[in-house]
């Protein structure tokens, strides 16, 4: 294993000049993480094979869909399920993290439906900061969204975090507030707001944070046998 790489959402967005241009920034298991610039309005479209998670980093976007519309401000997100028509738009430049499966995922009966249909439910806006304020226990990740078989989680706390050793799946760690330190045998990273890294499956690592730190974690969901 090589050393970890530190990435930053704002720096990735700064490399994009054209509206709706996109750059791939990380792979976390089957999930592709990209940054795109939302300025103007896309045409209506749908994806029959993949869910899409829209997470506004800077600016504000309007996400319209057959499940209704939501306005996403910084650190707010929503998931558009596969099969649901949608489009995103913004009058001013906004940077957005987009998470989706990198290939046509295996379709499962029962646990994962084939696709959603128009009007089946309402599009849900999730504020990461609101969720964090409701969390009472530190160093304890709570799931806020799902993308195929992966989950987005948030937590807050200061100190050394309990982690799976070795990492059972790829893990992306992004700092919302504060400072985090990620250590592996080959390197050590100090991450600040907007910074993130991906710890690969099988890695031996440690995670620690300073006071006032909040983290977002993207990883594969553990499926427990019943």
Asked if the model's pLDDT at residue 118 lies above 80, the reply is: no
Residue 60 falls within a domain, yes or no?
Answer: yes
Question: What confidence tens digit (pLDDT) does each residue in 43-79 have?
Answer: 999 998 899 999 999 999 999 999 999 999 999 999 9
Domain count, the chain: 2
Q: Is the peptide bond before 166 cis (omega within 30 degrees of 0)?
A: yes
**Please, are residues 211 and 178 in contact by the beta-carbon 8 Å criterion?**
yes
> pLDDT tens, 159-217?
999 999 999 999 999 999 999 999 999 889 999 999 999 999 999 999 999 999 999 99
CA distance 171 to 198: 5
How confident is the model over 137-157, as a mean pLDDT? 96
136 with 184, same domain: the answer is yes
Domain termination site, one of 127, 160, 175 = 127
Measured distance CA(132)–CA(216) in Å, rounded: 10
pLDDT band at 8 (very low <50, low <70, confident <90, very high): very high
**119 and 23 in a common domain:** yes
pLDDT at 32 exceeding the cut of 80: yes
> pLDDT value at position 170?
97
Phi, psi (degrees; rounded to nearest 5) at 128: -60, -40
Fill in the DSSP letter of residue 44: P
User: What pLDDT does 191 receive?
Assistant: 98
- The answer to whether the CB of 37 falls within 8 A of the CB of 94 is yes
Question: Is 120 within a domain?
Answer: yes
Judgement on whether residues 61 and 40 belong to the same structural domain of the protein: yes
CATH number at residue 121: 2.60.120.10
Cα dihedral 41, 44, 49, 52 sign? positive
């Amino acid at each position: 294993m090589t050393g970890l790489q530190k990435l930053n959402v704002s720096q990735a967005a700064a490399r994009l000049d054209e509206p709706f241009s996109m750059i791939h920034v990380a792979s976390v298991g089957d999930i592709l993480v990209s940054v795109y610039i939302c300025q103007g309005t896309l045409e209506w479209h749908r994806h029959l094979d993949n869910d899409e998670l829209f997470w506004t980093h800077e600016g504000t976007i309007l996400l319209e869909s057959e499940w209704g519309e939501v306005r996403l401000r910084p650190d707010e997100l929503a998931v558009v399920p596969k099969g649901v028509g949608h489009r995103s738009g913004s009058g001013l430049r906004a940077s957005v993290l987009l998470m989706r499966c990198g290939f046509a995922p295996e379709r499962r009966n029962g646990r994962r439906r084939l696709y959603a249909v128009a009007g089946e439910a309402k599009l849900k806006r999730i504020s990461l900061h609101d969720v964090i304020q409701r969390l009472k226990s530190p160093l304890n990740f709570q799931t806020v969204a799902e993308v195929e078989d992966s989950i987005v989680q948030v937590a807050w706390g200061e100190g050394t975090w309990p982690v799976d050793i070795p990492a059972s799946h790829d893990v992306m760690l992004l700092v919302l507030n504060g400072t985090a330190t990620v250590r592996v045998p080959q390197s050590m990273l100090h991450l600040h707001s907007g910074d993130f890294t991906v710890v690969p499956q099988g890695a031996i690592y440690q995670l620690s944070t300073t006071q006032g730190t909040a983290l977002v974690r993207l990883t594969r969901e553990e499926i427990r046998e019943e």
